[in-house]
Structure 1
Amino acid sequence: MMPGDEREFDDLLAMLKETRGFDFTGYKRTTLMRRISRRLEALKLHDYGEYRDYLELEPEEFNRLFDSLLINVTAFFRDPAAWQTLRESVIPALLASKGPGAGIRVWSAGCATGEEAYSLAMVLAEELGVDEFRERVKIYATDLDQKALQTARAAVYSERQLAELPDGMRETYFEPVEAGFAFRRDLRRQLIFGRNDLTRDAPISRVDLLLARNTLMYFNGETQLSIVRRFHFALADPGYLFLGKAEMLLNHGDRFEPVDLRMRLFKKIGVAPATDRATWSAGGASQARPYVRHTVLQAAALATGPVAQIALDRSRNLALANTRAELLFNLNARDIGRPFQDLEVSYRPVELRSVIEQVEQDLRVAELQDVAWHRPNAPETSFFDIAVVPLMDPDGDLVGVGVNFHDVTRYRQLRDRLEQTNRELEHAYEELQSTNEELETTNEELQSTNEELETTNEELQSTNEELETMNEELQSTNDELQQINDTLNARSEELRRATVLVSSVVRSLGDAVAVVDTELRVLVWSPGAEELWGLRADEAIGCRLAALDIGLPVEEILSRMQRTLEETPVPGNGNGNGRPETVVLDGVNRRGRPARIGVVLSPLSTDDQAPHGVIMVMNLLRQEPG
């Protein structure tokens, strides 16, 4: 992006904050740019300046933009294994710490359309019983999107949205209504939905359990740090935090400890008073604390997974490398302790030595995106997002540098294929005028179900969370396209039934019937016409009437048919002047016998529209004996 584009983008964010009260400056910049660029592409605009002018002229575009930026993707009991761990490990400990009869406060931050808040309500109702749930539990669910909150308050969901509920829960906690299934009204009173901006508004206090699943990943590192501090303040002691698959708290070991790191369940740690810090640094506990922190760091850096990770010590010697990095860069145990500059990975796939030096000076994360690498003997070029992060000890001193290589080749290919598919879909649906506008508005959000990649280190979060956002967008559009496909199938079935009905009507007419268009090409050729002239329908349909080899002197009625087509319709009467024209002609039937044929010409038109064809009914008035 050019510097001028950066300024225009900042101006656009400032406009959204001033005019609509939405402050997106804390969100990840790359995500915002990608989502807004999609709106520019849909509107055929060239830059952010033009889009800002368009927003001033078309206020309705604000709603479409916010729907694009605030990706409300959620589901009941999303990640069932994590919810099972919550039920087995956290909920019993939480209830035991509260004691009998004590109130339980829960906060679902970034609740979207409410599925996870209601999921938690069902879990607590199962553990406590319905009566005790109504007496003790209060669930606060907040989001930035007012439209999503309206859906959550209504608590009405389709059968498809409830398909993943555990057995028996739909029958127990939902009531059939006209639009689907509604959460039980007597339990719904325990849930309070409201708007809350996590970056600016005060947090809900004294909560025992806080859900913020796949919410932090949309914010940049600085904003995430601020929100995590608010979460720590909001939680009671003890309090529990439930995050999404792509979110971790590796750099917040002084505030949260993992209950189950893999399932992203954490417990609040009370912050020690300032007077105690000297004791920690001088006593035996100070030896245990760095060791624990180092163990967590080492486990995170070397955790098995799809992400290649290496770590350098303060002297820029290779200190750690996980299995993926060893396979990718041909590293082995003998390379541990070697100077990084002597290793091939220091300059391939990209020059990293200068980047590492800058990170050590600035103590800030450096990110390199879409780095291309064509490895020898590899069939195609691979692409990597590389994050170089400073590694700090508890006292804030630099102890080394971590380098993370995230293979995004698959997503590059997937993005290209999706863009090609979108172009093909848009071209196809342009031919369907009844559904074209709906496709234009719903073909924005794409989400994939691929949420398998997990990161083990906060410095990698920026890249991994970006991919998680793209996955959710893919799933959203896949659902919308399925709905459109169902609608098209229904309309195709209606068209088929109408075609069968017309064919049945024409077949039921005893007379010979032919329908021609404005160019006098045959559209319909009834069985009676086949019987009269001996010409099959597949031989007649599509041909000009004058070119048919039948025993009727067509030339004598062509001018009459042309006049019928040119008649001006009478308002309220779709058949021209309302008077069909009859003409009697001498012809020869399919057996070669002379016959007297009565022909009735009627215009084919809709209400108050010019005729777009002629209906010709041919009656055999008299046949000469053979």
Structure 2
Amino acid sequence: MSNDDVSAPDEGRGGHPNDETDATFIIVGVGASAGGIEALAHLVGRLTLDHLALVVIQHLAPSHESFLAPLLARNSSIRVQTAEDGMRVEPNGIYVIPPNVNLAILSGVLHLMPPTPRPGPALSVDFFFRSLAEDQGSRAVGVVLSGTGTDGTLGLKAIKQAGGITFAQDPNTAKYDGMPRHALASGCVDFCLAPDAIAGELMSIGHHPYWHERAVPRPKTEFEGVSKLILLMRSMFGNDLTYYKPSTIERRIERRLALHKFERLEDYVKLAQSNPDEVRALYKDILISVTSFFRDTEAYEALRTRIFPRMLENKGPGSSIRIWVPASSTGEEAYSIAIALLEFLDDRAQEYRIQIFGTDVDENAISHARRGVYPENIVLDVTPEHLRRFFVKKDASYQISRRVRDMVVFSVQNITKDAPFSRLDLVSCRNLLIYLQPAMQKKVLRILHYSLNPNGFLLLGTSETVGDSPDLFSLVDRKNKLYAAKHVPTQTSADIGFGTGVRETALVAPTTANMRPILNIAALAERKILEVYGPPGVVINENLEILHFRGRTGPYFEPAAGAASLNILRLARPEIHADIRRTIHQSIKDDVRASAVCKMTENGSTRSFRIDVLPVTEPETKSNCMLVLFVELPELPGPAQVLTQAPSAVDESRLQDMERELLVAREYLQSTIEELESANEELKSSNEELQSSNEELQSTNEELETSKEELQSANEELTTVNDELQTRMLEQQLTNDDLHNVLNGVDTMLIITGIDLRIRRFTFAAEKHLNLLPGDIGRSISHLNPFVGGLRLEQLGADVIETLTPFTQEVQAPDQRWYSLRMTPYKTLEHSITGVVITLADIDVRRRAFQLGQDVAEYAGMFLDVIGHPLTIIDARKKIVWANRHFYPNFGVSPDGVIGKSFAELPSGPWKNPKLDEFVEATMVTGGSFHEIEISYAVEGETPTKSVRVSGSRMPPMGGNAGLLLLSFENATTERASSA
């Protein structure tokens, strides 16, 4: 199962069921780019749009007026008009996008939107296709025609996810196949056809009941057909879809019926039973493998501001951060969470072990996620900053950077039956529950709660809630559907049913009757004291639900008639209802303790008590709770009896004794007060001294901390510099090794000098031919002047450095061999000149061959050019070095195409006959004496076969070359015709 949009548009019959016009026609979006006008002309030329409307999205030049509408009007009898802002789409119409805008649709009305400035090609096709899918739902149709790039692929995915039909032009018929080929590679295309065939298919499927009928109750036989299809998919893929919502499965089956033009489910079931590929296609449709990067940006912002800080409260450096993304599809959401977490941690990311798990039942989707390669269309969802930091541009796609990829692990897993991951800090299960029945939703929520740490968090889709499981999760952010796991008795895998089939008994919440905490003696004593002497009360949550009773609360509560509830306002007695509400509201508002004195009459007597509300925080989940206490107040004493009787006489001496004792007590009290004041002053003085010392110690501690941080920073900088130096040393060593192997492997003589024209390096060939030694490094290049025919290399090198102009000349060495001398400036990567590079290439063979050709041509031209039939001279390698003037017209060749060429390189002629090669080789060995051979050959473009008589003889040695052969060609065809 895979991520999807926040709603399930495919469950209805149309995008807007309240609009009566929706059932009358279908809106088809057509996207094209380069070469698209020709394809559009073929498409609209065949269409009759009584039940269709076309919206054409063609890539247009933003600063030029478009003539696309009148061009299409020439090929179609249907009205073609340029789209305008606020224009309603009507059947039997074609609407063309104007230049320099994006087109959107809402409730069947077109809206012109300013284009979003972004680098790269325009993505107007994806923009409209997504809007069309959201607006029309399963009634959307998308067509991608000729064009370059990847625009349209993400839009077709959105249309298919919504239950619509998708087309792509056959790449073999497209002038530019980039857009259709990329759409086909994504696997989201239902039909791949030529434009003419697309028009016919649109008119055919447009009349299918899938588009026009409202939902009606299915007969029992059709329910049996759906069950058979579910069994086929379970048998092939091992995934039981029984607990998927029936409306989702049925709508997807109806879509497949429309594609195959079936109206009866029985016919489609027969097709599926005989065609495994169709079962595979239906299964893929039901899984809905569609997602995108940073879907619902507000949810990711809530993760950064509210969830990630709370996740790290109890984590120190080296701790693990574990996140699970079930139903991750092709990985966009898992990578998005990884990027959001990296942005939040910034430089602290390396302090934690981050593991993000992405799972899905679709193996193809998981394979795609592991590759981490996405089309360039993701610029619609990913900001340029994210693209720069976390993606690598490759051709027409973006690849997740290695840093992000290493954080995420993808695997195939079925959350409903496979064992989940554990000890997780966050689970992002978005838009999966909406496709499951309530019983399976409960099971999945229990699995997710089991996977989370006691202080873990759950992120759901915007259309999902924890439903009937408020005992497992507390609400953190209602808008973004963020929940915190509650601390409840631990469930076992047997309670949840890992690895077992789905049974109703497995979906019932486990009982906790036998789970009671184990207390020690001290805890028992404290609880007993609280029961005897503490006031009664209750603990309530933010929803005013009672979580715990303490003491005898019966005098204050009286359950109200109706459905059972633990809400404190429904349990409180009517006479104190208003006081409780006011006191709780005050405590929540000010987050302080609030109190109220109440009176309650019972059995004719009035009791007074105080209501105390104290805010508390649950330590495990950090959720807010309140403690409500009921404190009994003592009764006030009645009025005292007034004494009217006069005091009796008191003995005078007794009175004096009492006065004396009172005086002594006063003196003692005064002395005690003075001693207390003195002690207080001493304590105050000591306290001031301690405070001063504490401030000094704190200041010293701060200085030490600062010094420690500075030392640590300096140490980190030194470590970084050391790492850089080590890397540079390794690179330098590798460069030296490469240079050493290059210098030893090059056959050309090469010498490198410094700016002072002294030898720095030379190749092995230079060492061999110039008799250089390692000790010659550092010597002036004038040492090489004798080898280059006396040229002054030091002067030439200085000129090269000064003028930055290379110097080239052919020189003859003392051994009479010819070399090509070339001197070029030595230029560094910073474009500074630090020396000269000297190369000496051996050209002796070429120079002598050139001289030989000149000699042969001069010699032969003196005696042989007057002979009236073709003659040629070849060397030992069968290369032609001379031919007389009759040779060229006889065989239809030119001197430029003959001299220096071998027989194999010449066009058709007698030299293509293998007998000529045998004759030449034999003549080279024997010397010839004008041996003759007659051979036949065919001339290209001429039907008759020609014959020629060839004779040859080896020539006397010339210039030290004894491998020259003279060949004579005489036309035997003409002679044979004359004799006849």
Same fold (TM over 0.5): no
Which has the larger Rg? 2
TM-score of the pair, normalised by structure 2: 0.29
Q: Which has the higher contact order (CA 8 A, sep 6+)?
A: 1
